[in-house]
Structure 1
């Protein structure tokens, strides 16, 4: 049970969109946390490790940034998908890589969540990495397929209440932010029970949803923007307080069935701990420029990503804070030791 079932999940949680965007704003407002300077980018091929299967939102972000960085620097960049272990396989690959700035993790908030889910990790989300750039925030989206008969989030809630534990609800992974969102929302709605089915990424989960093998799916919104727009999937509700500009016809949970809900996910870039500070600064400069540039930004924003492009100090503080805060969220969601 939630310790505070009567309290709204809002900006007090570690994934409030307002808190993340406010953190990014402090980069400009405070000279104490200004970026370290342009630095230098390491010589050689930059390898971006995505800990999910191809096609999900983290993969989309990683490929867009890798392409833009490569074009700007005039060098080769590679994207490698290392899915499995609820993102731990890819994270471990980067944690154990040489600290030369050439191996870059495209991380999500799963990095902070997994510290509480998996007590025997071979790496630490804080000690094993040097944060580079907090790239984006995005809503989670509850989505279904047109043949499901679930036309609104109220229909989803009614079906879950009528058939406890029977609705098959896909997740991009065990313990990902969409999983926490579902558990917390279920508890806010008087203990809804659904059958969670984890995948190794959003893309395979989306394919199964389109194929009718799932009833619904919690997923980072930009991963399915195109499918919702073309009618292959139906968006039911977003987890941020405001609707997404990318899918303005999809309501939020806050305006429908869960007043006060404001949950956003984050994604960013990290390198192994011990990477020289000037290389971290150089990579941050290159990645931030890519995020704001004409190659990546329009496409990412069109899919529903909110560009943040905050530097290492802001990103590092966010990860440290979220490791501590997610421990309570995981406990409250009943996932500790699951």
Structure 2
């Protein structure tokens, strides 16, 4: 398990085991009667995979069966998502996904499943804000000056993303639209890491990066952060204002982690799953590990609130994808 220390896993299991045992409604008493699979449609060792494994390991301490993570990648997140859409709805096969789930319909013209009708959200696990970063040669000292710079010279600056249709791309396009439909050239990369050298050397003017991937470069002075996309400032960068504080009220953007089940999962099993997720998300060890990854952990999500969140994200991001003409690679 890349990036996960054995000590951390032992702490998670111990914390989860110390929590009160889950009450099992009679109709769900036999669940789980086999290992529970988290299908992660992202590559092993990446931040989503690491978070999924932390949650799975902690849940293994509160359920009578192990929870394992299976990476199923391909066509963005389509391959892994399809596995869960077509799985038995008995609570043994679940999807651990992100904001990518909210934009499947506009990105892919043909899907063998419906991202909404074929899934039942179990719980929102955590949210991750983003940082608007610029290279140190950019003369703009704050967000207002950057917007003015883009407005004065449309089409003469570049921004990078970690891939077309990803969270970074979406968040940047939303910013450009809310700031007055600014025209800045998009340069997609295969992940955040390849984009960073071009931000440092000036080939990119701006990069709205996931906070967990951008904090270190700001802390060491290699780049400057002008705003954070969440509702609150980041504790690691207390001097960086939110977009609202920096002059763009109403702008918020996150990537996020959510656990989803196939539609039609029995209500009792859904309730037990949700309780297990919230139970482990309340353990200090898991909360600390998530915070270390700049993921804001959630321990209060219900299936209803997770469904409401997903519906809101779909309503927010689908128009951005369509208006920007974003298509899947």
The alignment's TM-score, normalised by the length of structure 1, stands at 0.72
Shift of 1:188: 3.1
The answer to whether the Cα contact below 8 Å between 2:165 and 2:327 also exists between their aligned partners in 1 is no
In the alignment, the residues of structure 1 paired with residue 76 and residue 313 of structure 2 have an alpha-carbon distance, to the nearest angstrom, of 17
2:304 is matched with 313
Shift of 1:287: 1.6
The answer to whether the Cα contact below 8 Å between 2:165 and 2:326 also exists between their aligned partners in 1 is no
2:9 is matched with none
Specify the SS of the correspondent of 1:49. strand
Pairing 1:48–2:48 present: no
Alignment of 1:229-244 (within 5 A): 229-231=219-221, 234-244=224-234
How many residues are treated as equivalent by the alignment? Answer: 303
1:98 is matched with 88
Go from structure 1 to structure 2 and tell me whether the alpha carbon gap of 1:261 and 1:290 turns closer, same or farther (over 3 Å shift). same
* Larger relative contact order, structure 1 or 2 (CA cutoff 8 Å, min sep 6): 1
Shift of 1:285: 1.8
Specify the SS of the correspondent of 2:225. strand
Alignment of 1:97-136 (within 5 A): 97-136=87-126
In the alignment, the residues of structure 1 paired with residue 74 and residue 186 of structure 2 have an alpha-carbon distance, to the nearest angstrom, of 17
Go from structure 1 to structure 2 and tell me whether the alpha carbon gap of 1:255 and 1:83 turns closer, same or farther (over 3 Å shift). farther
Structure 1 gap segments, 5+ residues each:
1-34
Alignment of 1:1-338 (within 5 A): 41-54=31-44, 57-73=47-63, 76-144=66-134, 152-153=142-143, 156-157=146-147, 160-161=150-151, 164-165=154-155, 167-199=157-189, 201-202=191-192, 214-231=204-221, 234-309=224-299, 310-331=301-322, 333-335=323-325
The alignment's TM-score, normalised by the length of structure 2, stands at 0.74
Structure 2 gap segments, 5+ residues each:
1-21
Go from structure 1 to structure 2 and tell me whether the alpha carbon gap of 1:190 and 1:52 turns closer, same or farther (over 3 Å shift). same
Q: CA RMSD in A?
A: 3.6
Higher-Rg member (1/2): 2
Shift of 1:199: 4.8
